[in-house]
Structure 1
Amino acid sequence: MTERQVMDRLTELRTAIAENTVPGGSAYGRAAAEIIALTLAAREASGPDLDVLLRNTADWLVETKPSMTSIRTVTALAARTLAGDQSRDAVIAAMRQFIADSEASIARVAEHADTFVEPGAKVLFHSYSGSLIQILTRAATRSADLTFLLTESRPYRESLRIVEALKELPVEFVVYSDASMALAAADADLVLVGADALFRDGSFANKIGSLPLALSSRLAGTPYYVVTEMSKLYPGDPDDVAMEQRPEIELAEDWELWRSGHVSVRNQFFERVPADLVTAYLTDEGVLTPDELALRSSVRQ
């Protein structure tokens, strides 16, 4: 890539992260890895200057998307690599390897469709996830007569983006409002959601609405599966990971009462779901119960 192409790509990636348009938690990790690789490649830094450059880049990534633990995994990997090798090229190579490993992991996650999505099933999903796209695509190409149920996932209505991506598949789509997700859970045979963070107590975080959907699934007796890469597993204190708050204007831009200051808006974008509401995690390392996920976390600390 030319210097101009590198800078254009960096601007594109940083804008996508800042504006919340990266397609899913795994993709955020890959975007962060690419930003680190391109940033180091574009600067002739070494020694203490290289350390400062990497730390500043990592701080911006984590502060901009605090709920995305895949980004924390990437920045920790970059820091360990630099501490052990003191080489810019080694960090760049580690970032490129992370991207390749992540893409391979998503393919392994998709293989769970063969076991968990049976012909004729009604599969409910919420929000947008690259892992969800992969597993739903595989399910639709291997099982007949599927129906994909989806909640809107406001305010961006991310679930509809999955329909756009899968619209050529031979499946029926049924959309439910977020407020009717209890009805959707009762109509479904199973629920699939992605994850933006995995925690050492077996819980996870995902787009807002994932918790009421889990509660609705518990009430309806519908299995609730989380489709995810294990690179999102954060071995530290779950409270370290803040649940991102988005600007109020995203929910109330055209509401005069908000503009006049009569009403304030809380636009929390992610939330944690307790371990006891999860049936199983469908991961690149196999099918894990919440307890097994917690055990993996203790081993990685």
Structure 2
Amino acid sequence: MLNQGLLALQRDHESGARQLAGKALQILISLIKEGDESLERWWKSARLAAWHLWKNGRESMGAAILNVLVRSLAIIEDEVKRADGVSLEFLGTVTRKLQQYAVSRDDSVDDIWRSLKGFLQENHDSGKPIRILTLSSSSTILECLHRAILGFRSEFDIRILESRPLFEGVSMASRLVGRLRESGAEREKKVEVSIYTDAAAAIASEAVDLVLIGADLIAKDGSTSNKTGSLPAVLSAKHCAPNAKVLVLAENEKILPYEPPLREENDIEEVFASWRREESLQEAASTVLSYSQKETLGGHGLQATVKNVYFEWIPTTLIDGYMFEDGQKGAQDISDLADHIRGEADAYFANV
């Protein structure tokens, strides 16, 4: 069952880090809700399963998975300290409390919105139009955009990069438009939602007030890993709209207290799929694909490569603020929290 769970996490390229961490939690619950061994062995097995889900699931999104599993182990540990053995009552209590924790994670979006709302009230509450650039598909950013448009009297100009190769930005734009139509926002004021190609990041960033970035990982120094295309969007805004603020919207669970993983590259077929849809590119795509699969002899010969890199890093020096569920934070706050998270994780995983 653990192997099946790991494969499910590894093959999931649609869920964001927050959703993937929720899936990891559900896998952990399914693994520990039964047991006929001693309490000590059961507790060690639970910690070992959590370690595997973190390290061998989807490491590029490992911060959220790690944090959710560490918090889950803290919940389990409280029950272990009260129990005499692995009884049905004990397993039922552990399962119920973990499910309650899973539900409570949904509240973090409300709290992140409160942090962003405070920033907007302080900096953009004059009624002037607010121009925002974002990319990819973040459930947190989607929710915050929706609430901002409904809650502020300003007109909004929302610009979303398409986010190749899976075009998650197109999906988010569609969901945002759908939710705004349902809420009748377009009857109250002007709201413009525009999709730009990734190559037009500089044009999309002209005169923007805010760049909103999600996070799959946040390093101890505040550097943020997000969907590829994030760094060009931020750099473009810094050049084309020098007064724009770059904000990261994320939960504390995105903070990774360890060295970040190596760059993740994914199936090049995702890139070829969009090329093949264009008839004039089909022959070119086939040529590149054939040379990308060709073996070279002794390091000689012609070989083409296609890179499908999912994530890239935005350095702390380009980020103006972090909106977390417990308020706005700076780089030093993130460093302090990373140390705390590492202490907890080391305690649970040291002897597994």
The TM-score by the shorter chain falls in which range? 0.7 to 0.9
- 167-176 or 227-236, larger mean C-alpha shift: 167-176
- What are the residue-to-residue correspondences of 1:179-258 with 2, within 5 Å? 179-219=199-239, 220-221=241-242, 222-237=244-259, 239=260, 241-253=261-273, 254=276, 255-258=285-288
Aligned to 1:74: 68
Kept in 2, the 8 Å contact 1:25–1:129? The answer is no
Q: Secondary structure at the match of 2:206?
A: helix
Structure 2: stretches of 5+ with no match in the other structure? 81-85, 181-185, 277-284, 292-302, 344-352
Q: Secondary structure at the match of 2:117?
A: helix
Aligned to 1:155: 165
Aligned to 1:109: 112
Aligned to 1:265: 306
- The partner residue of 2:28 within 36, 43, 62 is 36
Cα offset for 1:267?
A: 1.1
Sequence identity of aligned pairs in percent? 23
Distance 1:195 1:134, change over 3 A: same
Determine if the alignment matches structure 1 residue 289 to structure 2 residue 281.
no
Q: Secondary structure at the match of 1:260?
A: helix
Cα offset for 1:201?
A: 0.9
Cα offset for 1:204?
A: 1.3
Render the CA deviation track for 1:231-279: whole Å, top value 9, x for unaligned. 1111223x3x333221111112442023312422121111121111100
Aligned to 1:25: 17
Aligned to 1:63: 56
Q: Secondary structure at the match of 2:59?
A: coil
Root mean square deviation of aligned Cα: 2.9
Kept in 1, the 8 Å contact 2:266–2:308? The answer is yes
Cα offset for 1:134?
A: 1.6
- The partner residue of 1:128 within 133, 137, 140 is 137
For 1:112 and 1:246, locate their aligned partners in 2 and report how far apart those are by CA, in whole Å.
34
Distance 1:295 1:80, change over 3 A: closer
- The partner residue of 2:151 within 116, 125, 142 is 142
Q: Secondary structure at the match of 1:161?
A: helix
Amino acid at match of 1:76: V
Kept in 2, the 8 Å contact 1:14–1:35? The answer is no
- 171-180 or 223-232, larger mean C-alpha shift: 171-180
Distance 1:297 1:12, change over 3 A: closer
Structure 1: stretches of 5+ with no match in the other structure? 1-6
Distance 1:127 1:273, change over 3 A: same
For 1:199 and 1:145, locate their aligned partners in 2 and report how far apart those are by CA, in whole Å.
35
Kept in 2, the 8 Å contact 1:150–1:159? The answer is yes
Kept in 2, the 8 Å contact 1:67–1:244? The answer is yes
Aligned to 2:348: none
Render the CA deviation track for 1:155-213: whole Å, top value 9, x for unaligned. 11111221222214132111111111122222311111111111111111111111222
User: Which structure has the bigger radius of gyration?
Assistant: 2
- 69-78 or 263-272, larger mean C-alpha shift: 69-78
Q: Secondary structure at the match of 1:172?
A: strand
Distance 1:12 1:49, change over 3 A: closer
Kept in 2, the 8 Å contact 1:243–1:270? The answer is yes
Aligned to 2:347: none
Task: Give the alignment's TM-score, normalised by structure 2.
Answer: 0.73
For 1:91 and 1:61, locate their aligned partners in 2 and report how far apart those are by CA, in whole Å.
20
Aligned to 1:3: none
